[in-house]
Amino acid sequence: MRHFLLATAAATLAIAGPAQAQSNAETTAAAALDAAPVWDGHNDVPYALRMRVGNEINDFDFRDTLDTAEGDGRAMHTDINRLRQGKVGAQWWSVYVSASLPEPEAVQQTIEQIDVTKRLIARYPEDLQLALTADDVQEALAAGRIASLMGMEGGHSIGNSLAVLRQMYDLGARYMTLTHGRTLDWADSATDAPKHDGLNAFGMDVVREMNRIGMMVDLSHVSEAAMHDALDVAQAPVIFSHSGARTVAGHLRNVPDSVLRRLPDNGGIVMVVALPWFITEDLRQHAANRAAEQARLEALYPGLPDTVEAQLAKWDATNRAPNSTISDMADHIDHIRDVAGIDHIGIGGDYDGMPTGPIGMEDVTGYPALFVELAERGYSQEDLEKISMRNMMRALRGAEQFAANSTSIPPFEYEAGGSRDAE
């Protein structure tokens, strides 16, 4: 009987152990997100509004966007109800416009995106609050609202003009990603042919001027050389608003270890992206193989698009795309912690700027599941609070403090168009 009772007790513990661990992880994650809700680094709702409704939002219901599926069957990833479910307390809204636009048109459209973002925030005063400073974020949180900040995605939005940069700041933009997918007259993109081996002289002055006025420098999308040049110049914390770790997934949009090792000296953070092709190496490889197969078929069957499509469908049937999961995203967080440290991690989903998030994080409701995964990996409540919000708060306060200490520095000046000739 004694042996039977011991065996029964052991079996009970074996069953209860994982359940208890799961319960503890859920408790830790929930406590962290209650104390420090997610401050997400990048969401493309403003661009979705341009593409879906032409920025006409007077009759647009942002409380619930589940009925916004278009011809591709995809509804928006974001609305107020789901932001609440996802424990999002502060959001950087991207006022992105296409980098392929002529720059004067890009400047105009960026202003239009700032306008639609402000109008969206103003329509929901009980849930959203415009935030221009770290103190504004704290005030919004205290009032139970989602702090709403704006960031530009790509230096094409300033049209080679520091004057435009300053005016975008006055309109409310509080970060700028130096490039998007196109290399500019002054900065190399990660996904375009380089021209400057990083930043040229004007590009470095863009960073200096952003530091001077208190606009955060965002290094997602820029080349590795441009990352290093920016860090050589920056005197305030930088951010990567939506990037992963290149050692974990080799996409050039991700941050290499050589840059991660420099973040502690700068105080900056990498806000880990949820985009599956950036976080899951097997999926990235599959996409490259599929592109290669499509190119091969187009070479074999020139002028026969139906044949190419049929043959590619056969390839798809026998070469299923790998899944991207929450665990993959957590692997990037692990790696950044191991190289740069826990103080240099944030979250930057990229929702409404991608087809879907990983399984379990398909939209903005998925953040709590990510934090349970991290708690299961041994992250403490203090660690999770740093990742969710406190590291971003510290970085923004650092940028604000540098600007406050730089009031004696005059604005950087260039003749109109002079940036094009800067070396």
Residue 72: per-residue pLDDT? 62
Domain 23-280+324-421 has CATH 3.20.20.140: yes
pLDDT averaged over every residue in the chain:
93
Calculate ∠ Cα 380-385-389, nearest 5°: 155
44 catalytic, yes or no? yes
CA 335 to centroid of chain Cα atoms: 17
Which of 196, 228, 242, 344 is an active site residue?
Answer: 242
Regions in the chain scoring below 50 on pLDDT? 1-15, 417-423
350 catalytic, yes or no? yes
Can you tell me the distance from the alpha carbon of 223 to that of 232, in angstroms, rounded to the nearest whole number?
14
Residue 422: per-residue pLDDT? 39
Long-range CB pairs of 17-23 (<8 Å, 24+ gap) are 21/376, 22/372, 22/376
Residue 18: per-residue pLDDT? 59
221 catalytic, yes or no? yes
265 catalytic, yes or no? no
Q: CB of 141 within 8 A of CB of 37?
A: yes
Instruction: Please spell the DSSP secondary structure of 24-38, one letter per residue.
Output: HHHHHHHHHHHHS-E
Which of 40, 79, 103, 153 is an active site residue?
Answer: 153
SS (H, E, C) 40-91: EEEECHHHHHHHHHCCCCCCCCCCCCCCCCCCCCCCCCCCHHHHHHCCEEEE
42 catalytic, yes or no? yes
Residue 69: per-residue pLDDT? 87
Query: Token digits for 245?
Result: 């770790």
Residue 416: per-residue pLDDT? 53
Which of 156, 180, 251, 344 is an active site residue?
Answer: 180
Residue 423: per-residue pLDDT? 38
Q: CB of 178 within 8 A of CB of 204?
A: no
Which of 205, 334, 350, 363 is an active site residue?
Answer: 350
Residue 21: per-residue pLDDT? 60
